[in-house]
Amino acid sequence: MKKIFVTGALGQIGSELVMKLRDIYGYDNVIASDIRKTDSDVVHSGPFEMVDVTDSKAIFDIAKKYEVDTIMHLAALLSATAEKKPLLAWNLNMGGLINALEVARELKCQFFTPSSIGAFGPTTPKNNTPQDTIQRPTTMYGVNKVAGELLCDYYYEKFGVDTRGVRFPGLISYVAPPGGGTTDYAVEIYYEAIKSGKYTSYIAPDTYMDMMYMPDALKAIITLMEADSSRLKHRNAFNITAMSFEPEELAAAIRKHIPDFTIDYDVDPVRQAIAESWPNFIDATAAKEEWGFEADYDLVRMTKDMLEKLSQKLLSKEIQ
């Protein structure tokens, strides 16, 4: 990777990935884009372009203008939001993806787009979910992700596009606010723990889901993109995970730092149904064997770092 074009750069992943990539590859060599513009480091620290990914010409023009060799396509509508707006989700998630893939094909770019544990469904084995298994999701987001995995495989097999991707678990970050995902409770709970010492979870107790701290997610993307292509058998849908927990376990980890923290429940039927259709924990053996995936953060280490960094962030906002 020498010149990288990132779509959806102001989202949860993009807002941190762009800065990480700029640190590694140079601030002028990472072109960030989004449909909106904010007063953020992503916008001000290097090239930034306003791009609607449903406009294929706009993607092509930017990629051509900057002579990029890599496209990281992150623009998407997430799980809970996609259930509320399924047609918009299809048009954005699938239309944007095939537009970006076409540009990668025409300009011979390496290509990354994330899949998700949302690509699994209620008939998928829930424990130690295999790399290759049944995928019959019952959400629009899941349907999009399965179709996206297959589409990326197609562009590799048919056109030779160097497509790569991972199935992300729930991602936890102190930088970007929650963006409409089912696993967002695991971000919101840290904010509320610091602000009020209590949290009302929309996910029921005993609901296990795979999770990952954002530094591990960023490392996974970069490691996969730098990996020897000849070693990759699965390419576009590697299972990766760092930890699996349910709300009570997360609350217990927080209490080690905030002893009086309490959690109660007001379960959202829509997001709960989505969560129950996903695996409890997945098997990441293929990612470890094919490109050396390894997570650095477990629940204990992540919670300590998350509370420290988020406290600093919230204090800084109060001072401002």
Cβ atoms 54, 104 nearer than 8 A: no
Q: Which residue in the block uniquely carries the two structure tokens 């424990």?
A: 127
pLDDT of amino acid 181: 80
> What's the sign of the alpha-carbon dihedral 288, 293, 296, 299?
negative
Neighbour order of strands in the sheet with 170-172:
170-172, 209-213, 243-245
* Rounded CA separation 179/265 (Å): 21
Same domain as 161, residue 24: yes
Are residues 87 and 229 part of one domain? yes
pLDDT of residue 78: 85
Residues 87 and 233 placed together within one structural domain of the fold: yes
Same domain, 108 and 147: yes
Sequence-ordered list of residues with C-beta below 8 angstroms from that of 119, at least 6 positions apart, any chain:
135, 137, 142, 145, 146, 149, 167, 237
User: Which pLDDT score, from 0 to 100, does residue 320 have?
Assistant: 55
The two three-digit tokens of residue 6, written as one number: 């990132």
Q: Indicate whether 106 and 134 sit together in one domain.
A: yes
Domain hosting 204: range is 171-211+243-279+298-319
Verdict on whether the full-model pTM lies above 0.85: yes
Active site residues: 141
> First and final CA of the chain: distance in angstroms?
38
**Widest Cα–Cα separation across the chain:** 57
Res 177: pLDDT: 74
Does residue 153 share a domain with residue 54? Answer: yes
CB 114 within 8 A of CB 166: yes
Nearest to 260 by CA among 305, 306, 193, 191: 193
Residue 158 sits in the same domain as residue 58: yes
Reported as a single tens digit per residue, the pLDDT across 63-75 is 999 999 999 999 9
Residue 83 token pair: 């259930």
Supply φ then ψ for residue 4, to 5 degrees.
-120, 130
Which tens digit of pLDDT belongs to each residue from 158-176?
999 999 999 999 999 998 7
Is residue 223 exposed (0-12), middle (13-18) or buried (19+ Cβ within 10 Å)? middle
- Predicted local distance difference test score (pLDDT) of residue 317: 72
Q: With contact defined as beta carbons under 8 Å apart, do 215 and 296 qualify?
A: yes
Torsion angles phi and psi, residue 127, rounded to 5: -110, 130
Q: Is residue 285 part of a domain?
A: no
241 vs 288: CA distance, rounded Å = 11
Q: Which long-range contacts (CB under 8 A, 24 or more apart) does 248-253 make?
A: 248/205, 248/206, 249/299, 250/186, 250/189, 250/299, 250/303, 251/189, 251/199, 253/299, 253/300, 253/303
115 close to 73: Cβ distance less than 8 angstroms: no
Q: Within a 10 A sphere around the Cβ of 296, how many other Cβ atoms? A: 11
Residue type, 295: A
Residues in the chain predicted with pLDDT less than 70, given as ranges, are: 318-320
Residues 15 and 67 in one domain: yes
Shared domain check, 198 and 146: no
CATH of the domain at 313: 3.90.25
How many structural domains is the chain composed of? 2
Rounded Cα–Cα distance for residues 278 and 172 (Å):
17
Determine, yes or no, domain membership for 164: yes
User: Are 129 and 230 part of one and the same domain?
Assistant: yes
Cα 131 vs. chain centroid, distance in angstroms? 18
